[in-house]
Amino acid sequence: MARRETSVAGPGSRALVVDVVRSAVSISRVELAERTGLTQPSISNIVRDLIADGVIHETGSADSIRGKPRKLLAITAANRFGIGFQLGPETVTCVAIDLTGGVVGREVVPFDGGDLADRLAERFDDFIADLDLPRDRIEGLAVVAPTARPGDEDTGPAWAAVRAALTERLGVPVLVENDAAAAALGEFWSRRVSREQAFGSVYLSSGIGAGLVFGGALHRGASFDAGELGHVSIAYDGLPCPCGNRGCVERYASMAATVDAARAAGLPVEQKTVFSAYDAIAHAAVSGDPDAFAVIDRAAGYLSVAVTSMVNLLDLGRVVLTGPGMAVAGSIYARRLRAALAAGAHARHRHEIVVELSAQPRDAAGIGAAALVVQASIAPGHTAADVL
């Protein structure tokens, strides 16, 4: 591959260097030049600026066969923090992460009624006070919800107005994002995935979404609507969907659809909310109840059909399963998807397609929200999440 010769340290080059250092854990300047294709002068300029900004630091050295030891570079984890709020039906999950994506604080509190901007601002102040985080090291707040999309005020709260009110009151940058997209970035960031890998995540909740990360950045599409995996049709003459399509996988494999299927199969589902009912079915499935297992496994089969199509279309190399629906019975979904990809992934003979379960599926969107803030802060111009 031809080497790009440039000495201009623009936002894209800075983002590239930050991503490579993040995924490598520690790396020398020489290795940075080799992996990024940037010239040594460019690397020197970018590294000098990042050290001055407190984003990276020198940490030890490595032997070199060509002379003196090379100094290694690493992310300065506790220099800055990002805050993410994940809005649920009745609660808000608050997450704080450092520059490596490590979680430094988390809490889930009841959240209902009142003015949304006022409530979120109060929660922000209380949360950082509880963690004793220096306010001057907090890079911003990102709020994620199923209805939130950058540039979209047509669904859910008037996000532009909420964002403006929060920005004025808190005095920090405020972003909004869809929960599935945010979860993908959170998994990408905290797992130290290489920016060279085509990465995707599947977010199972009351609906079904996907997040896609290419070149280290979220792929959002022409109208910030990329990743609507739930509206991939798996049956052209199947069940009608409110979106206007038929046979959408969300009508067969979302948490709500699975609860409906369990009730139709005669399972005793007494819980009032979709989330609690689904968790009860999932617990029964992994505990050996054959009827509950059959319901979950059938939903996993439907979802695997849609995800296989996504993998084939985008040639993904790694897929993470996350969201509340994966918290209890994720192993059933992972087993089903691995079998489906082993049989039907177009690229299965050319490269491995890794399927993993999220370590924190219920909090993934909140972690991703905080990662949006961190990425926007240390690699300006690398994210479009603040466009409204």
CATH class of segment(s) 11-75: mainly alpha
Give the pLDDT score at 300: 98
Q: Model pTM?
A: 0.83
pLDDT by residue (tens digit) across 286-341? 999 999 999 999 999 999 999 999 999 999 999 999 999 999 999 999 999 999 99
Q: How confident is the model at residue 11 (pLDDT cuts 50, 70, 90)?
A: low
What is the four-CA torsion angle of 94, 193, 336, 260, rounded to 10 degrees? 20
- 39 CB-contact burial (10 Å; exposed 0-12 / middle 13-18 / buried 19+): middle
The percentage of residues in the chain with a pLDDT greater than 70, rounded to a whole number, is: 90
Helix, strand, coil shares of the chain as percentages rounded to 5?
A: 45, 20, 35
Nearby residues of 192 by Cβ (< 8 Å), 6 or more positions away: 22, 23, 24, 25, 100, 101
Record the tokens describing residue 273, joined without a space.
């909310």
Q: Across all residues in the chain, what is the average pLDDT?
A: 87
Euclidean distance between CA atoms 379 and 341, whole angstroms: 34
Long-range contacts of 149-152 (CB under 8 A, 24+ apart): 149/176, 149/177, 149/178, 149/224, 149/225, 150/175, 150/176, 150/177, 150/220, 150/224, 150/384, 150/385, 150/386, 150/387, 150/388, 151/223, 151/224, 151/387, 151/388, 152/223, 152/224, 152/225
Mean pLDDT confidence for 8-31: 79
Architecture in CATH for domain 80-183+365-378: 2-Layer Sandwich (3.30)
Residue 12: pLDDT above 90?
Answer: no
Is the pLDDT reported for residue 8 higher than 50? Answer: no
Note the pLDDT tens digit of each residue in 164-221. 999 999 999 999 988 999 999 888 887 878 777 889 999 999 899 999 998 878 888 8
**Residue 148 pLDDT level (bands cut at 50, 70, 90):** low
Q: CATH for 196-360?
A: 3.30.420.40
CA nearest to 60, candidates 74, 46, 75: 74
Q: Please state, in angstroms and rounded to a whole number, the distance separating the CA atoms of residues 368 and 357.
A: 15
- Residue predicted with more confidence, 138 or 90: 138
Question: In the prediction, which pLDDT does 200 show?
Answer: 93
How many whole angstroms separate alpha carbon 122 and alpha carbon 206? 27
Domain boundaries, the chain: 11-75, 80-183+365-378, 196-360
**3-7, 27-31, 142-146 — which is least confidently predicted?**
3-7
| CA 93/CA 87 separation, integer angstroms | 7
Same fold, 11-75 and 80-183+365-378: no
Average of pLDDT values for 83-108? Answer: 90
Residue 66: what pLDDT?
61
Q: What is the pLDDT of residue 79?
A: 83
